[in-house]
Structure 1
Amino acid sequence: MTDFPLHTAESAPKEAQANLQAAEKKMGFLPNIFAKMAEAPTLLEAYLTLDGIYAKTSLSPVEQQAALLAISADNHCEFCVAAHTGGIKKAGADDEIIKDLRARNTPNDAKLAAMTRFARHLNAQRGWAEKTELDAFLEAGFTQQQVLELVIACALKTLSNYTNHVAGTPLNEELKPLAWEAPAS
């Protein structure tokens, strides 16, 4: 495997330094995914920009994080499952929902079940949603706008999950209590 650098704000290409400094200030530590993405400053900028846009969607913070967690688990991204476990806890989800999503199970909450099922379907089908799945999502009380907002979730996870897979991103010490192991393929 190619050894991708794990940059710091000082070692990163100049174009990535401000984004790394801002991320570290906001989060209290520099997530290793950003340290890896910094090798391609435009990737880091794209991810951070899209993440900021996704935060403005009409999905609740728990719904946003649940979609990202479910997609990351389906994509076997150990780093992102740990990171979004922290994100969904911070958003206020209960432990049972988190446990279900990490196990790639359907949460007991009907609305979150419909949302994560559709997010997983959209991701697995690469956007070619089946009518029955789309209808079930809408019948659960979601909107056409939210269908399209979940496309953003899939795009975010494509950027981060693929980066982690190709770059071999190690888990930060801060995330180790939330570690997750992908099932054998």
Structure 2
Amino acid sequence: MAKFQLHTPETAPDGSRDFISGVNKKMGFVPSLYAVFAENPAVLNAYNQLSDQLGQSGLTALEQQVVTITASVENECHFCVAAHTTISEGAGLDLDVIYAVREDRPIADPKLEALRVFTKKTVIDRGFVSDADVEAFLSAGYTRANVLAVILGVALKVISNYTNHLAETPVDEAFAKHAWTPELKREAAMA
């Protein structure tokens, strides 16, 4: 495990301190991921800017969570699956959809299922999705702009998922209700 400091408003570098202080004031704590990101203000800022852009990408709030959680499940990120499930619950999003994504099972809504499948293929195939996969996604009611929004969501999750892998970011108590263990780790623990 690479040792990363979980920064506080007092320990965060100058370029991160204001953001970390603001999050602490707003939420009452600093989520562990942000505490790790604070080590490099450029990464912290880039992640937040990409997150803001995903919110403007044309995907609904539920669709954004389908993309981010699907990518996090495929990338086996315990932290992001728990955090995004908690965010989804707080936003009043359909937890049946969220739990289908977490459990890597089909979503009842065909359009959202097409989004989940396309996102999963984008992650697994590292963007080399087939023309048939793109056409299936478009046929479900999405657009070429939505194809790029999925890539944006996947890119956002690469930053956080990979950081969480390297830092072994602990899941905050606020997200613990929706803790998630990647399938491979579950299988290894059972062996």
TM-score (ref. length: structure 1): 0.95
Say which SS state the counterpart of residue 17 (structure 1) adopts: helix
In structure 2, give the amino acid aligned to 1:37: F
Measured in 2, the distance between the counterparts of 1:23 and 1:36 equals: 13
CA gap of 1:133–1:41, structure 2 versus 1, over 3 A, is: same
Counterparts of 1:16-27 in structure 2 under 5 Å? 16-27=16-27
- Is residue 116 from structure 1 mapped to residue 116 from structure 2 by the alignment? yes
Counterparts of 1:93-172 in structure 2 under 5 Å? 93-172=93-172
The percentage of aligned residue pairs carrying the same residue is: 38
Measured in 1, the distance between the counterparts of 2:117 and 2:86 equals: 21
- Is residue 88 from structure 1 mapped to residue 75 from structure 2 by the alignment? no
Measured in 2, the distance between the counterparts of 1:54 and 1:27 equals: 21
Measured in 2, the distance between the counterparts of 1:53 and 1:22 equals: 20
Structure-2 residue corresponding to 1:39: 39
Measured in 1, the distance between the counterparts of 2:27 and 2:62 equals: 18
In structure 1, give the amino acid aligned to 2:71: I
Shift of 1:19: 1.7
Measured in 2, the distance between the counterparts of 1:170 and 1:82 equals: 11
Q: Which runs of 5+ in 1 are unaligned?
A: none
Once the two structures are superposed, residues 16-49 of structure 1 have per-residue CA deviations (whole angstroms, 9 ceiling, x without a partner) of 1112123334444311000001111111111011
Q: Which runs of 5+ in 2 are unaligned?
A: 186-191
CA gap of 1:118–1:25, structure 2 versus 1, over 3 A, is: farther
Shift of 1:177: 0.7
CA contact (8 A) 2:118 2:137 kept: yes
TM-score (ref. length: structure 2): 0.92
Shift of 1:85: 0.5
Structure-1 residue corresponding to 2:177: 177
Measured in 1, the distance between the counterparts of 2:28 and 2:122 equals: 33
Aligned length: 185
Shift of 1:138: 0.1
CA contact (8 A) 2:75 2:161 kept: yes
CA contact (8 A) 1:62 1:91 kept: no
Say which SS state the counterpart of residue 42 (structure 2) adopts: helix
In structure 1, give the amino acid aligned to 2:86: G
